């Protein structure tokens, strides 16, 4: 297993690129919730929802579950059925958002799999997390996988790829001075091109109100295939999210793929009811779904739009079971199912030695 730095050839130069989420998975990596204070006293309800998520994913593919201590392992074993395809790992952890602090995998044309290890600074230094930035190194060591270590901050939820060289990001997140001061749009395009194989980087303005990620793309706008984009809309003109979502929708309708073809853009309503938590407005969204082997899990909030969201998303994923699961407690932490998962694509482990 080799540690590769910016002094070595970048992944793209060796034929690697980030696959789309709907490509086959070898496993899903997740981190078990353990800190009641971070969950504002709601840890029990969060764990109940989280256990249903783990159980659902494990019906379709292996779950590699990180556990921070003995109490977490006892709790997990008491909640999950023994026959599930779940592997436990004891790892120092701060929180659960492995989409953002975990590795981003890349795959070559020869089906070799490696990973990129970006710096995680808790969404621009909003929290004092000490351990979560070490997770990619742990995953690489467990897999014996060659990987690139970068000093650039990038959260997995901040980038959405279509598997055909196109990626979506938001200015409100990537251009914050607390992440990579001085890194411009063109600078990001070059960096993500070199390390994730992105040919065309498309920018939206912003995300949801009071989203502590500063507007991750995976909370508002997602690819469902290489040519189809589903994007959040807010019908209430008095809502603070309405204007931003309208600007995003207009921009998406004018965007094209790498061959200058327009995308198919599908509107996805935000939940109808406003949800508030200990730190003010929460950012519930149906766009934070997770795509796996033969399934898609979609967050539900006990909201009038829950069923509508499932009805919109189901035909966009032919051949996959679209499953609604409660995320009413989990959203108190600011994210949902996509934020809680990180796919390990299928592929042969690349050690970095050739």
> How many Cα atoms are found within 13 Å in the side-chain-facing hemisphere of 24?
6
* CB-based contact 84:58 (threshold 8 Å): yes
Query: Which residues are registered as beta bridge partners of 59?
Result: none
Which tokens go with 42? Answer: 């709601």
Show the DSSP H helices in the chain as ranges.
43-58, 70-79, 98-101, 122-125, 135-143, 171-174, 185-196, 240-254, 306-313
Element (H, E) at 274: none
* CB-based contact 295:279 (threshold 8 Å): no
* CB-based contact 67:311 (threshold 8 Å): no
* CB-based contact 175:237 (threshold 8 Å): no
The yes-or-no answer on residue 339 being catalytic is yes
Which tokens go with 290? Answer: 């997770």
Candidates 63, 339, 343, 344; catalytic one? 339
Which tokens go with 196? Answer: 């994730």
What angle in degrees, to the nearest 10, is found between the helix axes of 43-58 and 70-79? 60
Distance of alpha carbon 245 from alpha carbon 162, whole angstroms: 21
Q: Which residue carries 């950012």 as its tokens?
A: 283
Q: 3-state class of 287 per DSSP?
A: coil
Active-site residues, by number, are 339
């Amino acid at each position: 297993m080799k540690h590769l730095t910016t002094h070595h050839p970048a992944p793209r130069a060796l034929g690697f690129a980030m696959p789309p989420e709907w490509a086959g998975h070898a496993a899903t990596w997740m981190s078990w919730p353990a800190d009641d204070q971070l969950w504002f006293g709601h840890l029990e309800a969060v764990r109940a929802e989280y256990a249903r998520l783990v159980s659902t994913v494990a019906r379709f593919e292996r779950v590699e579950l990180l556990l921070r201590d003995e109490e977490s392992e006892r709790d997990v074993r008491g909640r999950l059925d023994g026959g599930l395809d779940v592997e436990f790992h004891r790892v120092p952890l701060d929180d659960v958002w492995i989409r953002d602090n975990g590795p981003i995998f890349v795959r070559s044309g020869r089906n070799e799999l490696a990973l990129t290890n970006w710096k995680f600074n808790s969404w621009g230094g909003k929290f004092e997390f000490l351990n979560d930035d070490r997770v990619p190194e742990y995953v690489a060591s467990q897999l014996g996988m060659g990987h690139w270590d970068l000093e650039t901050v990038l959260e997995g939820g901040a980038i959405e790829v279509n598997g055909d060289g196109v990626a979506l990001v938001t200015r409100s997140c990537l251009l914050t001075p607390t992440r990579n001061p001085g890194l411009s749009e063109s600078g990001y395009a070059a960096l993500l091109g070199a390390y994730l194989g992105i040919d065309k980087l498309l920018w939206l303005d912003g995300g949801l109100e009071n989203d502590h990620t500063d507007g991750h793309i995976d909370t508002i706008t997602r690819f469902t295939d290489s040519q189809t984009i589903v994007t959040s809309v807010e019908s209430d003109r008095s809502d603070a999210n309405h204007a931003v979502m309208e600007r995003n929708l207009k921009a998406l309708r004018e965007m094209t793929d790498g061959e200058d073809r327009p995308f198919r853009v599908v509107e996805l309503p935000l939940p109808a009811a406003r949800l508030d938590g200990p730190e003010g407005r929460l950012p519930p969204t149906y766009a934070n779904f997770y795509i796996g082997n033969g399934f898609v899990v979609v967050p539900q909030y006990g909201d009038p739009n829950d069923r509508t969201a499932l009805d919109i998303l189901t035909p966009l994923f032919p051949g996959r079971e679209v499953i609604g699961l409660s995320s009413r407690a989990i959203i108190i932490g600011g994210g949902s199912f996509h934020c809680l998962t990180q796919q390990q694509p299928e592929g042969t482990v690349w050690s970095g030695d050739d």
